[in-house]
Chains A and B, each alone.
Chain A
Amino acid sequence: MNLKPETLAKIEAVIPRYPVKRSAALPLLHLVQEDAGYIADEAVEWIAAKLDLQPINIYELVTFYPMFRRKPGGRRIIKVCRTLSCALAGSYKTAEAFKAAFNCGLDETSPDGEVTIEFVECLASCGTAPVVMIDETLHEKVDGERARALAVEIRQAGGPASAPTA
């Protein structure tokens, strides 16, 4: 594992928070994914060893929680909420707009490697539906038009201006 020193420091700091090491599994997965972009097999084994667990114990988690990626994604991850309130506000059309803008399907990475587009379940911002998360930034009221605008912003200058969250 080739983790950044900052990541390793954070990992060392987070483990002692818990009376039982195993509890640090999710925090470690987050930290490794933030560092490496995804959770490779090697990472599964590294985390397991770090927490005195068996690899299967970590593998069970990585495959359960949809936020963990098993392979590298695009430079940006676009998550479109598809749950009821967002769907009522047109999120399926929002997704279509992103797909068209980046020429790729759902759960795919665009041919230029720019983005990966996914449907996700409720992002808990139903009052400003449809909502989209691009990496860690929430974008509200993203209709088809706004999606196309965001796509342009992503293509330019390496990404959209952060919208205020919540």
Chain B
Amino acid sequence: MPVQETRLIFKHIDAAGYTNDLDCYLRHGGYEILRKAVQQKPEELCEEVMKSGVRGRGGAGFPCGMKWKFLDRKSGKPIYLICNADESEPGTFKDRQIIHKDPHQLIEGILISCYAIQAKTAFIYIRGEFPEGARILERAIEEARSKNLCGDNILGSGYSVEIFVHRGAGAYICGEETGLIESLEGKRPYPRIKPPFFPAVLGLYQCPTAVNNVETLCHVKHVIDMGGEEYAKIGTPGNSGTRILCVSGHVQKPGYYEFACGDLTLGQLIHDVCGGLRPGRSLKAVIPGGSSAKILRAGERYTGKLKDGSSFDWGLEDIPMDFDSLMAVGSMAGSGGVIVMDDSTDMVEALANINAFYAHESCGQCTPCREGSLWMKKITTRMSHGQARQEDVDLLGNVADQIAGRTICAFGEACSWPTQSFVLKFRDEFLNKARAQAGAASTNGNGAVPLI
């Protein structure tokens, strides 16, 4: 049975005649929820968000309501909201759609969130690679200001807030919230040590700061619209709301799709939603939550117990696409970027490609990530180019083990999880590569496209 999309955030995206200007947004009921929100008490809004259980859509899946609850409201310092529009996790392209095609939804979400946490200033940190997106947002903010939806005394509520767009310049690390804050402060985006620099207490300019993903802030709008309890009915307990999944790689219909969390399995996503694999090809592996998520290999079986105590026994294609299920199988839902690989893929090269990304993007601040990410890149690149050694397989795994859990920020995990999972799950392929190279020059058995 084909699964149905539940389009909440993407309700109007790609709809015929829907444009990204304010008039269109207003025609579709835009800013009515903001109007409703500013008549409520801020703490009531926070309570609704808490009740909704909505989890962050940027990658870590941390409950938004908790994040806001941690804000230090007693310090007397201004509270800032930062919208993380750095969308930098490879395989992810959902925020791009929101920003380009429905920017006012985001602006409304930001305004409601600002009011809820009583922030007077919000910054949208948008990746440098979205110049057009930045212009669209600037224009949307100006449009909102012209209708008194933003700026001084919005909608006569007595509440004032400014939103500014701040462009990055090509650094994955700026997706890490404290790296982003440093970047916004005009410094090298070196993530801060936590403790003591938790953004909720010592964030932007050492003031309490909430950093939320674009999609998350859009969800806030819908939470306030529906009420937290009603929103929580979408999806499954602990995985409330809808989830935007971005599918890329070797499927017939790559793209972005929105489902109630847990509504579909990975198999349904690949075969029913994305039209299956290319003709004549079979599934080899899937990275389910952006390139840092641990890879899943076709044919694997996953057994264990879920948080609610129920046991599961899944094949790759049975895994429900929600936070908890993907965690239960040893990977993560992350940013929702699903990268599908068919049997033409050379896994050593695929890992070399990923490692090149992380070596390029490591900020270089702390030792394990700085040196480990480049080392892993050097090893896998060498292996891809004909000089693989049997011992490289264990060495790679061990280098990765020396990074994860020992760094300042989550980049340590992000750069080591791919290596850890690739060498664990495709150990045979890595070893075969070394063996084959020892005897012959040709290494790419499938004649597939080069990846490094």
Contact = CB atoms under 8 A, between A and B. Distances in A.
A and B touch in the complex (CB under 8 A): yes
Interface of A: 17-27, 29-30, 51, 53, 57, 60-61, 64-68, 82-85, 87-90, 92-93, 120-129, 133, 136-138, 165-166
A137 B133 CA distance: 11
Contacts of B184: 23
Nearest to B167: A30
A139 B208 CA distance: 40
Complex A-B, nearest 5 residue pairs according to Cβ-Cβ distance, in ascending order? A65-B169, A126-B248, A22-B186, A25-B186, A85-B248
A160 to B, nearest CB: 15
Query: A60, A64, A88, A125: which has the most chain B beta carbons within 10 Å?
Result: A88
25 contacts: A22-B185, A23-B185, A24-B186, A26-B183, A29-B169, A57-B186, A57-B187, A65-B168, A65-B171, A67-B129, A67-B170, A84-B90, A84-B291, A85-B90, A87-B449, A88-B250, A88-B341, A92-B449, A92-B451, A93-B449, A120-B170, A124-B95, A125-B96, A126-B91, A128-B254
Interface in B339-354: 339, 341, 345, 350, 353-354
Interface in B88-120: 88-93, 95-97, 100-101
Contacts of B96: 124-125, 166
Contacts of B185: 20, 22-23
Interface in B253-269: 254-256
Given A25-B186, A122-B357, A166-B100, A67 B90 contact: no
Interface size bracket, B side: 35 or more
Contacts, number: 162
B392 interface: no
A64 B171 CA distance: 8
A143 to B, nearest CB: 10
Interface in B182-214: 183-189, 205
B449 to A, nearest CB: 5
A128 B93 CA distance: 10
Nearest to B185: A23
Given A18-B164, A23-B185, A124-B129, 14 more contacts: A23-B184, A25-B186, A27-B166, A53-B186, A64-B189, A66-B170, A83-B291, A83-B353, A84-B249, A87-B450, A88-B345, A92-B451, A124-B127, A129-B254
Contacts of A93: 449-450
Contacts of A127: 93, 246-248, 254-256
A22 B354 contact: no
A64 B172 CA distance: 11
A20 B205 contact: yes
Contacts of A137: 132
Nearest to A91: B449
A9 B247 CA distance: 43
B130 A124 contact: yes
B93 A121 contact: no
B413 interface: no
B419 to A, nearest CB: 14
A112 B166 CA distance: 35
